[in-house]
Amino acid sequence: MKISEIINELELLAPQAYAEGFDNTGLLVGDANAEVSGILVTLDTLETIVDEAIASDCNLIVSFHPIIFSGLKKITGKNYVERVVLKAIKNDIAIYAIHTALDNSFNGVNAGICDRLQLSNRKILIPQKGTIKKLITYVPTEEATALKQALFNVGAGSIGNYDNCSFSTNGTGTYKGNENSNPVVGAKHEFIAADETQISVTFPKHLESIIIKTLHEAHSYEEVAYEVLTLENTNQHIGMGMIGALKNPMEEADFLNYLKKQMNVAVVRHSSLRNKTIKKVAVLGGSGSFAIAAAKGAGADVFITADLKYHDFYTAESEILLADIGHYESEQFTKELLHTFLSKKISNFAPALSRGKVVLSKINTNPISYF
Ligand SMILES: [Zn+2]
């Protein structure tokens, strides 16, 4: 199995098209055409992690955080980032980072936290905009059903719990081919008015190339008339943070104890207790101060995140309980999530590459210690 095939699988879990603009995801180091000897899954890529990959005969590191974030102008080993990259290249080890592509996935980092807290009725806290597109095309009426089916087969027309969604209207299409044309109906220089069906379907933006390719393959015309639009609608399945409900509402102190136990943390930094029952819980793994307003707006009783600053706690304004469980702690189960996903995929698609070849890193990469 090649690295590119593993990347294709990771793209199914968390398409890079949904990573944040500031991020640096994807294959950061290495050759996508190389054969995979084994995969090491980690939260961060440090020198000790590259050593662990070497020791466990893994030539692909799948990391949550990207080791190269803001660009490299020199690779001389002067800082830890350069040393990691140097060591990886010298040892022919590739590094893939998934980061905010997985943060924004419905089955990603925050779903992992919701699982630990057993939250039901989950929704994305800040749904992404500009990720739903619409295709409008025009096809001879007798071809309309087959074309719609071809588009559905590659993922167009899915809305929430429904698929095969489309809208069609019948009308008259006109055209006249020039000297170099080769029309399927009529002849060059002939004005044609034909019975055509206008089809519209929506699709998620990461499928655009396969959908346009399928459109051209399934359509009989030499020139296919179509329009692709980006919709303003928010995507309820892609975005930052998640909100869900506890099965049994809890008093704040009980909830904080539950949170510590379920997320395996020793300390929770939190804003003033409000003496309110906790039912709705918003979560955002990693640095989440930007989502405090969204958590309040969604009616969350508590917002669990990390990297909150002194003044951020004031913004709770007695409207919400803010709970900072630590950056590493909030994302610590992400490597298990990736490990489980890759193990299943590898055993399905490449039984020759045994389950044992997806290795969960044993190293705690948290740079923060508590005394
Ligand atoms: Zn993070």
Compute the distance from residue 327 Cα to the ligand 1 centre, in Å.
6
Compute the distance from residue 366 Cα to the ligand 1 centre, in Å.
11
Compute the distance from residue 304 Cα to the ligand 1 centre, in Å.
14
pLDDT tens digits in sequence order for the chain, 371 residues long = 899 999 999 999 999 999 999 999 999 999 999 999 999 999 999 999 999 999 999 999 999 999 999 889 999 999 999 999 999 999 999 999 999 999 999 999 999 999 999 999 999 999 999 999 999 999 999 999 999 999 999 999 998 889 999 999 999 999 999 999 999 889 999 999 999 999 999 999 999 999 999 999 999 999 999 999 999 999 989 999 999 999 999 999 999 999 999 999 999 999 999 999 999 999 999 999 999 999 999 999 999 999 999 999 999 999 999 999 999 999 999 999 999 999 988 876 555 554 458 999 999 999 999 98
Compute the distance from residue 324 Cα to the ligand 1 centre, in Å.
13
Compute the distance from residue 283 Cα to the ligand 1 centre, in Å.
13
Compute the distance from residue 9 Cα to the ligand 1 centre, in Å.
22
**What is the value of pTM for the model shown?**
0.88
Compute the distance from residue 360 Cα to the ligand 1 centre, in Å.
18
Looking up tokens 């207790």 gives 273
| Closest by CA position to 322, among listed 301, 341, 337, 339 | 301
pLDDT (tens digit per residue) in 220-243: 999 999 999 999 999 989 999 999
pLDDT (tens digit per residue) in 8-43: 999 999 999 999 999 999 999 999 999 999 999 999
Compute the distance from residue 101 Cα to the ligand 1 centre, in Å.
12
Indicate the Cα dihedral angle 125, 130, 132, 135, nearest 10°.
170
Q: What pLDDT, on a 0 to 100 scale, did the predictor assign at position 355?
A: 44
Compute the distance from residue 209 Cα to the ligand 1 centre, in Å.
30
Compute the distance from residue 284 Cα to the ligand 1 centre, in Å.
10
Compute the distance from residue 104 Cα to the ligand 1 centre, in Å.
12
Q: For the chain, first and last CA: distance in Å?
A: 45
Compute the distance from residue 64 Cα to the ligand 1 centre, in Å.
8
On the 0-12 / 13-18 / 19+ scale of CB atoms within 10 A, 43 is buried
